[in-house]
Structure 1
């Protein structure tokens, strides 16, 4: 169905009016320009500028990925040096307990929190029309990468998230080259006698730092209790003792302060990752792995 002329409306041989080719091209160009400008406007509107955080872990991701002026509030945990990796960056922000009563007056255009937040509170906020995004608990380095990229999309700065992930990958690749072919065996022992096996971020960090987690061979999946007898029988080359709950009067701490551990060779006892590096699963995992790697290679006492 060819038009007889190209520069005006004409009837073809079948009596159908059709537009000239030049005008079709011009029309398509105008449509493309309109679509691009419209999508650009939507992109600008979609960037939240009053973001409220309901959890320590979203506090830290916000501080890494969003401009300070876009953050309306953080939680009080953000300035706790025992828990927060971003204490210095968190100074100067409004701090809340993550309660609805504190959130509503801020009129947020995005609320971010943990999947472990109160379901009733989250449901109520959504019913009021507030956009709420919740993060899960990554159990691997790959899941941390995905979390960072998704969070970057939520706050409107995906390019920042991509740069953070690139930096993570570069540092992890550098660390992997330092390890010998043979991994050192290790176990983690924490208050209440818990250890971490397969399917945990702690296991992934041990592997990335050049260790082999004996808890996996013992059939430990996730977090499980281990008796002192099992611990001694396993004979790990490295024992990472986590003592975040450092209260000698608590039953939980008695596990990691037991005299049996004092009788183990000093070369096998190491403190575990500082709590501020592992309270939340995020880009700080690289520093945690580096910490473990240094313990692997440090001189014996």
Structure 2
């Protein structure tokens, strides 16, 4: 079982906090403390934060570093050259990936038994929530700059589990990418799950307040927001699925 584990990625932060033994995890990334991004922000504040820089990480004398598959590659390469073990975890694009990543981080931490407990609980909670197979309302998740998630994404699985059809997928979108506002309007979704704004003067966020989007959402009985629970593949996505399922029922009851 490795000691002095450091995580430098928002998603491995959350997996590590769920799986690590007492005292095993010594630092998480600074993003883990941001409640707009991390549903475990309060818990993350109990750990020293890092910025993912190789120099600061080396001084922590880690026995293991957990990182994302695609981020901070320069730091990952430097740490490996210095003889520090680094385990990289790919972003989850499905519920199956959540299970796989729990097992991967559990194995890296020597906590395989804890990982299996979390997976069993995840499966039981998902089974209790799932409304798959129902011909539900059409929904789309819409974020700054028109970013959406189509076929082959974790969001697609989340919508399906809530009994909703992904309008972006039905419109031919695969993976994550930009959905022009004009295209969203023509898709005529029953439910737009709009991202929460961070504030400030971002042009990317301004489109979330566009009159055409407001008109498309005018008849929605509920207005769920996407956020940190949608970003990382952990069992915490099920709280978002529960909210989406409630939104689906509200649409059906109109």
Task: Report if TM-score (shorter chain) is over 0.5.
Answer: yes
Instruction: Determine if contact 2:39/2:228 at 8 Å carries over to the other structure.
Output: yes
Distance in 2 between the 1:122 and 1:148 partners? 21
Correspondence for 2:52: 98
Stretch moving more, 151-160 or 262-271: 262-271
List runs of 5+ in structure 1 lacking aligned partners: 1-46
SS in structure 2 at match of 1:266: coil
SS in structure 2 at match of 1:107: coil
Alpha carbons of 1:251 and 1:90: their partners in 2 closer, same or farther (altered >3 Å)? closer
**Structure 2 counterpart of 1:219, from 172, 185, 202:** 172
Question: What RMSD in Å do the two structures reach over aligned CA positions?
Answer: 2.1
**Structure 2 counterpart of 1:202, from 125, 146, 155:** 155
What is the CA-CA distance between 1:274 and the residue it aligns to? 4.1
Alignment of 1:45-84 (within 5 A): 47-84=1-38
Alignment of 1:91-170 (within 5 A): 91-170=45-124
Distance in 2 between the 1:274 and 1:181 partners? 22
- Which ranges of 4 or more aligned residues in structure 1 deviate by more than 6 Å? none
Matched, 1:86 2:40: yes
Cα deviation digits, residues 95-142 of structure 1 (max 9, x gap): 211211211122111111111223232122111111100111111011
Distance in 1 between the 2:78 and 2:109 partners? 22
List runs of 5+ in structure 2 lacking aligned partners: none
Distance in 2 between the 1:180 and 1:54 partners? 38
Matched, 1:182 2:135: yes
**Count of matched residue positions in the alignment of Structure 1 and Structure 2:** 253
Distance in 1 between the 2:86 and 2:101 partners? 16
What is the CA-CA distance between 1:272 and the residue it aligns to? 4.5
**Structure 2 counterpart of 1:262, from 214, 218, 222:** 214
Instruction: Determine if contact 1:175/1:290 at 8 Å carries over to the other structure.
Output: yes
**Structure 2 counterpart of 1:295, from 247, 250, 253:** 247
Alpha carbons of 1:88 and 1:270: their partners in 2 closer, same or farther (altered >3 Å)? same
Alpha carbons of 1:265 and 1:83: their partners in 2 closer, same or farther (altered >3 Å)? closer
Task: Report which of the two structures shows the higher radius of gyration computed on alpha carbons.
Answer: 1
What is the CA-CA distance between 1:49 and the residue it aligns to? 1.4
Instruction: Determine if contact 1:236/1:268 at 8 Å carries over to the other structure.
Output: no
Instruction: Determine if contact 2:29/2:51 at 8 Å carries over to the other structure.
Output: yes
Distance in 1 between the 2:96 and 2:132 partners? 20
Distance in 2 between the 1:149 and 1:109 partners? 19
What is the CA-CA distance between 1:254 and the residue it aligns to? 2.4
Alpha carbons of 1:231 and 1:150: their partners in 2 closer, same or farther (altered >3 Å)? same
Cα deviation digits, residues 145-178 of structure 1 (max 9, x gap): 11101110100110110011111100110112x5
Structure with the larger RCO, 1 or 2 (CA within 8 Å, 6+ apart): 2
